[in-house]
Amino acid sequence: MTENTNYFKKQKLIPNWPQEVVEEQVGFVLGVGGLGCTIAVALCRLGFKKIFILDFDVVDDHNLNRQILFSKKHINKSKIDSAMEALESHNLRTEIVPMEMEALGNWSKIVKAARECTVIFNLIDVGAYWDVAVQSLGLSLGIPVVVGGTFNQMMSFDFYPPEGAPCICCVDKLKDQEVLDRLLPDKIQGLENINFIPKDKNPVGASAVYVATVCGFMMVSTYMQYLQGNRKIPTRMIFYYNTYEWVSWPLEADLHCKFCSKSLYFDKRPCYYEKASGKTLVPKKFKSLNSKEEIEETKFRTKNPLVKLGEKYSKQIIPCIPSTDSKATEFGNIKDLPTSLQSPYIKCKKRTPYVGFASGIRSGVMLIGKKMYRFKGCGNNTERFLVRDVKVFGETKYEEVRGCMFEHTSLREYQMVSELSELMKKKGIPTANIPTAIFKYELEEDQLPKIGKFCNVYECTSDIRLANAVLPGLEGLLSVLVHDWDHTQYLSLFDKSRFDKDNKLINTAVAVNKKLPLIDLRKVNVLHEAPKPPKHEDVHPRWFKLWESESHKMAPIVEYIKKEKKSVGSIISNLYYKLGYEVGRVVMILEKEEISWGTFYDNFTFDFHCNAHPDNLILVSEKDSVNGNLLAPWDFDFAFTKESSVPNFIDEETWTNWKNIEKKEMKYAIAGQQNFDFGFKEIELSDEMKQLKIGLRDTITLGYLAAINGEEPPETDPEIVKGFYPMLNLALIMNKVMKD
């Protein structure tokens, strides 16, 4: 079809109109009735790249009052054939793919088409379980689903985002669990047909052309708002034509929904990928490269730019750890991976069918089936693999590639994560990452092609990090969690040395540095949590129901604490201590096993590198918790063992010093030292709450130090333990409020 850029001249004049993005969209129109006809016309007129239209009916005479693609000559003819004919006069550049088939029996063909799509418009009136199937397909593919219908003088449509929360199963409580289990996102793409779903006995709908047409256009308009970056679209919208009443509201997420239960445990910032040239590797076995020549090469790389690769690389440096390199000696079959993982992805600016969530500057998360996969090294934000200056003492001296992993760092980390996952499993600690594959990029446009670019792929259970999500969420929760408390009694818990000359409370990090006494809030019943109902300005309405249910779980525990004569502390004080203890335990396991958490001296920048910080531990969901653990270690990039360290490079004294640095760095970060910036927006706290925050930071630090000193795990009252996850879930809701 001949392109004419003037077709879209007027809509390009709309402020912030993303025409380039629009022209990459692929829509799936399920059902070419009153709404489907309108939507198909709209997508063609907007300039979508491609649309699929599906129906298995013929045009009846009673369709003509509202199905705008059809005329009298189409009566008793195929809807698909008639729509294809009529759309010719509306089509400006769009490829239209007809699918004349019955939907339930041809589900596998629907799945195949949907894999190309960026949005699904569900207009088939089969019933609630059909809607669940389409929603589940959208969740599994990471694309939004728009559902609509009309009846009498009313139109209604729902917009479900690609990540769920809410999804249709959060809203409609269907009872047939056996059917729902067969429709879960990790199974939905593998079904040949869905003839097993129950069908609703729907009455014949009463509608008119203006009801159907306006509804169809509004559904398209909603998706266009989404394309333009609006993330506060109401989930459900209803309009009554006879009363001119417009109602819209965000439906509430359900943490226990089988279809999107992990919505709290991943960042919601959208992240888009595109397929990249290269290959996928599945390492199974490794060996260390420890010949004399290989060790010398490693030593050279730790101190010198890559001048051996040519003049173009004379200033290039790459991350180097004082450890021998690893080599993969055995590989698995990539056909054992999900199809979607058999070729590389890279982050991109434009909206694509491949959507996930952000996870750090050079990482992203994608839902494939019901599992989450983390791509570590898939591009520096949306800038792909950029080259930037490296300054030493304020002067530019070197250059480095950002956004990817390198062959030696990729393989070493992959091996270390594999081994550490097994180690943590033996210690009863949950695993945050399961090594799955490595992407090896072979890009046509590459500034420095001699430097290999790699991305490690891990199956993950969460992306909620201790430093930038859990602790800020808990501390942001204080103002609605704690009230009617004895502030004077609280301050009396601190030693006099904890107050400066202006009688201000000294924070935990400074106290640790000066070796001042810390307080343990578990030992006093000062705090009595009683969560207040959330205000509209505090919490997004879709979380109201979850907030209410988690608060309800905490209420009897709060009453139990109040009635206890002995000091059992509070939910939040015991929670902080446990979090600190779990962090310290991981640090000590690594020390005992002679493993460095990426701590070494960088010969290029003349500074220490250390990955032992609280953002490298993530919160696991209650479902994924093992032995009551709340945290799992997350990143092990640059980790190496004492055994694998380069001979004659690290002596016993150096190793001991580096491990002590590791423990100290983690201690100060846990204590809240200000120069540890983990990229979160702190909520504004009152002076009283700031002082309370110091007491909690004292408590988490004491928990950390207890583990470092080899003390036994805390024996927390079982009733209080029941309140940990409800409080954590409230904190995650608050964290999302702060990020919004």
- Report the 3 state secondary structure along 95-121: EEEEEECCCHHHHHHHHHHHCCCCEEE
For 136-150, 291-305, 412-426, 589-603, which range has the lowest pLDDT when averaged over its residues? 291-305
Q: 579 versus 672: which is more confidently predicted?
A: 579
For residues 438 and 283, what is the distance between their CA atoms, to the nearest angstrom?
A: 8
Say if residue 249 is in the same domain as residue 391: no
Per-residue pLDDT at 474: 92
Q: Which residues have CB under 8 Å from 387's CB, separation 6+?
A: 316, 399, 400, 401, 402, 447, 448
What is the structure's pLDDT at 93? Answer: 94
pLDDT tens digit sequence for 171-186? 677 778 899 889 988 7
pLDDT of residue 725: 94
Q: Which of 261, 287, 317 is the last residue of a domain?
A: 261
| % of the chain with per-residue pLDDT over 90 | 55
The verdict on 614 and 666 lying in the same domain is yes
pLDDT higher at 627 or 298: 627
* CATH code, domain with 142: 3.40.50.720
Residues 6+ apart with CB under 8 A from 580: 670, 699, 700, 701, 702, 703, 704, 705, 706, 707
Higher pLDDT, 285 or 738: 285
pLDDT recorded at residue 121: 98
pLDDT of residue 375 exceeding 90: yes
pLDDT at 16: 86
How many whole angstroms separate alpha carbon 92 and alpha carbon 42? 11
- Residue 529, pLDDT score: 64
pLDDT for residue 619 is more than 90:
yes
Assign 177 to helix, strand or coil: helix
Question: Tokens at residue 150, please?
Answer: 């009309």
Report pLDDT digits (tens) over 4-22: 568 999 999 998 899 999 9
| 726 and 635 inside one domain | yes
Which pLDDT score, from 0 to 100, does residue 256 have?
67
Alpha-carbon distance of 542 to 535, in angstroms, equals 12
Asked if residue 4 belongs to a domain, the reply is no
- Angle, helices 544-563 vs 724-739, to 10°: value is 140
Cβ-contact 530, 730 below 8 angstroms: no
Answer yes or no: is 335 within a domain: yes
Q: Same structural domain for residues 439 and 499?
A: no
- How does residue 228 score in pLDDT terms, banded at 50, 70 and 90? confident
Other CB atoms within a 10 A radius of the CB of residue 203 amount to 7
389-397 long-range Cβ contacts below 8 angstroms, 24+ apart: 390/317, 390/604, 390/605, 392/604, 392/605, 392/606, 393/606, 397/315, 397/604
pLDDT at position 479 over 60: yes
* Same domain, yes or no: 134 and 45: yes
Q: Output the pLDDT for position 537.
A: 56
Highest mean pLDDT among 190-199, 349-358, 674-683 belongs to 190-199
Rounded Cα distance, 343 and 279, in Å:
6
Range of the domain at 105: 23-261
Q: What is the pLDDT of residue 2?
A: 46
Instruction: Classify residue 132: in a domain, yes or no.
Output: yes
**Whether 656 and 602 share a structural domain:** yes
How confident is the model at residue 207, as a pLDDT?
87
Predicted local distance difference test score (pLDDT) of residue 344: 96
364 domain residue, yes or no: yes
Whether the per-residue pLDDT at 565 is higher than 80: the answer is no
**Which residue among 261, 295, 330 closes a domain?**
261
Are 611 and 643 in a shared domain?
Answer: yes
Q: What is the mean pLDDT of residues 338-343?
A: 88
| pLDDT of 264 over the 80 cut | no
Joined together, the tokens standing for residue 242 give: 């006879």
pLDDT tens sequence across 644-675: 887 667 888 989 999 999 999 999 999 998 65
101 and 38 in a common domain: yes
Query: Where residue 359 falls among pLDDT bands split at 50, 70, 90?
Result: confident
pLDDT tops 80 at residue 735:
no
pLDDT tops 80 at residue 620? yes
Of the ranges 49-58, 299-308, 354-363, the best mean pLDDT one? 49-58
Q: Are residues 365 and 493 in the same domain?
A: no
CA 634/CA 413 separation, integer angstroms: 12
Tens-place pLDDT, residues 59-77: 999 989 999 999 999 999 9
Mean pLDDT for 494-522 is: 96
The number of distinct structural domains making up the chain is: 3
Compute the CA torsion angle 32, 33, 39, 41 (nearest 10 deg): 70
Tell me what pLDDT residue 451 has. Answer: 94
**Dihedral sign, CA of 111, 116, 119, 120?**
negative
pLDDT given for residue 605 in this prediction: 67
pLDDT band for position 739 (cuts 50, 70, 90): low
Tell whether 96 and 201 lie within a shared domain.
yes
Q: Are 472 and 447 part of one and the same domain? A: no
Where among 236, 261, 286 does a domain terminate? 261
- pLDDT at residue 1, as a whole number: 44
Which comes out higher in pLDDT, residue 291 or 369? Answer: 291
pLDDT band at 132 (very low <50, low <70, confident <90, very high): very high
Entry pTM: 0.77
Confidence of residue 585 (pLDDT cuts 50, 70, 90): very high
Would you state the structure tokens that stand for residue 61, as one six-digit string? 């005479």
When the pLDDT of each residue in the chain is averaged and rounded to a whole number, the result is 88
- If asked whether residues 520 and 459 sit together in one domain, one would say no
Segment 243-267 shows an average pLDDT of: 73
At 562 the pLDDT is: 81
- Domain-embedded: residue 443: yes
pLDDT of residue 253: 67
Q: What is the pLDDT of residues 390-410, one digit of tens each?
A: 888 888 899 999 999 999 999
Quick check: is 15 in a domain?
Answer: no
